[in-house]
Chain A
């Protein structure tokens, strides 16, 4: 799973897709996940990084992560639709 090459994400959480011209806002934890995806981290690694840092548990994060990835696909921001479940 990869973020589309041309998609730009600012630190402040503004995401721009030059292919479609669409802009999005992303919250800080969302930006963090997008950066981890960019770094080719696996869903397991992303989960560990988030659960270690934030006051959440793996089950809750897994559910929210799947939902987030689903919406990234919905907006056509990911390269391919692979298995995303942690």
Chain B
């Protein structure tokens, strides 16, 4: 006779009318499969923890984003934000979908070139661009977004030396009514810095001022801020045309669209309250169409959104190492996913779903990672179904920033697998090994020997 499925015994006090930081149960169905592949088999084949990226979700999301903008504004171009996730396979999906590359360092610039991106379709942002990087970008006719005056002067000198007219934009920061106001990138709109930079570019005659750029914030929950930014940049572009008889070809509103993750401290889940692509598109397109651009002279709208395009396509699979009790009797569950590979657990209350069947019984749980560090907390308070040692969990919406900001710390970084459109898995980044780490190190000869 087959035995009944075991669930550990649990008793939970009923507390009514009391605010509870653990919230109510949120998971009703286990996530046994991702894009048709069993979580259990994926873990068995590729190990635990394991990053999974869904090509289907990536392509559907970028299509949704493009549709939201292209149905409202005639000239739209997305540029994939490399820093959000620069795994080669991921960048290539976005390039196949027509995105340009948006890079913020020489390393990222070289990565885009090595993937075969046309230099003319690379937007070079960021506060640090070496002379060597800039020279390369000028020769490749890339779009260089100037962050500060030192960079402006360097480009002027290089343009003269190389005898090539670089295509540039200035990065503009401004008050869009949100707090905190991001004023570290580029030149300020309100105090005249932006105009000062524009005047210098136009009077030098060494560069082509092709566009205007801004990056107003990150995980923006208000689409209206983008509307204000678009209006201000449109006004600036029209003033440049009036003053210098020079047409600004594009307006780049940067990135910062919120994904559907839930920010820590948020009362409601991100899936319910965060703006959609349509909300952002409506605010931006309305602002640009309502500005004084002539119908046939509308600038190209460039968008560098990263997080909102990739977050939902990423999953992190892990396994339960142990269940413990805290000094107060709270359930502590240790999983093999640490904050070194899930950096975004510092920002979000990530959704966690068990990968195997469970009942309606839950426990107020704190989920810890495996690192011997007190800060290694994945979720401080979550009402989770009962998990046993060895059970698998799926952490949702981890596609953005985790595979670029992750750290080799205490443990080695795991495999990253892409599930393609035909639901076939491919390793797109191999798990690290001790040899990988040691190959970067050198031990001076006098330190090689010691008493064993």
Chain A interface residues (CB < 8 Å from chain B) = 15, 22-30, 33, 52-56, 60-61, 64-65, 67-68, 70-72, 74-75
C-alpha gap A21/B109 in the complex (Å): 67
Given A25-B361, A27-B361, A54-B4, are A75 and B9 also a contact pair (CB < 8 Å)? no
Q: Which of A22, A33, A53 contacts B4 (CB 8 A)?
A: A53
B6 surroundings in chain A (CB, below 8 A): 29, 54-56, 60-61
- Contact at A68–B11, with CB atoms within 8 Å? yes
B424 surroundings in chain A (CB, below 8 A): none
- Contact at B329–A71, with CB atoms within 8 Å? yes
Given A53-B4, A55-B3, A55-B4, are A68 and B9 also a contact pair (CB < 8 Å)? yes
- The 3 A-B pairs of least Cβ separation, nearest first, read A30-B9, A56-B6, A64-B8
Could you say which of B7, B8, B13, B14 has the most chain A C-beta atoms within 10 Å of its C-beta?
B8
A67 surroundings in chain B (CB, below 8 A): 8, 323, 325
- Contact at B4–A27, with CB atoms within 8 Å? no
Could you say which of B6, B11, B325, B329 has the most chain A C-beta atoms within 10 Å of its C-beta?
B11
- Contact at B4–A64, with CB atoms within 8 Å? no
C-alpha gap A30/B359 in the complex (Å): 13
- Contact at B12–A24, with CB atoms within 8 Å? yes
Shortest distance from the beta carbon of A39 to any chain B beta carbon, whole Å: 16
Please count the residue pairs between chain A and chain B whose beta carbons lie under 8 angstroms apart in the complex.
67
B448 close to chain A: CB less than 8 A: no
Known contacts A22-B13, A53-B4; 8 further A-B pairs (Cβ under 8 A): A27-B7, A28-B7, A29-B9, A53-B3, A68-B8, A71-B11, A72-B11, A74-B329
Could you say which of B8, B9, B10 has the most chain A C-beta atoms within 10 Å of its C-beta?
B9
Shortest distance from the beta carbon of B348 to any chain A beta carbon, whole Å: 29
Instruction: Across the interface, name the chain A residue whose C-beta is closest to B359.
Output: A27
B386 surroundings in chain A (CB, below 8 A): 27
Q: Scoring B residues 37 to 52 as 1 if CB is less than 8 Å from chain A, else 0, what string do you get?
A: 0000000000000000
- Contact at A23–B9, with CB atoms within 8 Å? no
C-alpha gap A26/B8 in the complex (Å): 11
Shortest distance from the beta carbon of A52 to any chain B beta carbon, whole Å: 8
A75 surroundings in chain B (CB, below 8 A): 11, 13
Please report the total number of B residues contacting A with Cβ < 8 Å. 21
C-alpha gap A24/B3 in the complex (Å): 27
Q: Which of B8, B13, B329, B359 contacts A24 (CB 8 A)?
A: B13
A72 surroundings in chain B (CB, below 8 A): 11
Contacts A/B (CB < 8 Å), 10 sampled: A23-B13, A23-B14, A27-B9, A30-B10, A55-B3, A60-B389, A67-B325, A71-B11, A71-B329, A75-B13
Shortest distance from the beta carbon of B9 to any chain A beta carbon, whole Å: 4
Instruction: Across the interface, name the chain B residue whose C-beta is closest to A15.
Output: B11
B388 surroundings in chain A (CB, below 8 A): 60
A29 surroundings in chain B (CB, below 8 A): 6-9
Instruction: Across the interface, name the chain A residue whose C-beta is closest to B12.
Output: A25
Instruction: Across the interface, name the chain B residue whose C-beta is closest to A31.
Output: B9
Shortest distance from the beta carbon of A75 to any chain B beta carbon, whole Å: 7
C-alpha gap A28/B8 in the complex (Å): 10
- Contact at B10–A27, with CB atoms within 8 Å? yes
B5 close to chain A: CB less than 8 A: yes
Shortest distance from the beta carbon of A16 to any chain B beta carbon, whole Å: 10
Shortest distance from the beta carbon of A45 to any chain B beta carbon, whole Å: 16
Given A54-B4, A55-B5, A60-B388, are A24 and B11 also a contact pair (CB < 8 Å)? yes
- Contact at A25–B325, with CB atoms within 8 Å? no
B325 surroundings in chain A (CB, below 8 A): 67, 70-71
B316-342 residues with Cβ-Cβ distance < 8 A to A are 323, 325, 329
A56 surroundings in chain B (CB, below 8 A): 6
B283-324 residues with Cβ-Cβ distance < 8 A to A are 323
A30 surroundings in chain B (CB, below 8 A): 9-11
C-alpha gap A22/B323 in the complex (Å): 26
C-alpha gap A30/B6 in the complex (Å): 11
Shortest distance from the beta carbon of A33 to any chain B beta carbon, whole Å: 5
Q: Which of A23, A26, A61 contacts B10 (CB 8 A)?
A: A26
Q: Which of A24, A28, A55, A64 contacts B14 (CB 8 A)?
A: A24
C-alpha gap A60/B389 in the complex (Å): 9
Shortest distance from the beta carbon of B274 to any chain A beta carbon, whole Å: 33
B368-417 residues with Cβ-Cβ distance < 8 A to A are 386, 388-389
C-alpha gap A24/B5 in the complex (Å): 23
B4 surroundings in chain A (CB, below 8 A): 53-55
B14 surroundings in chain A (CB, below 8 A): 22-25
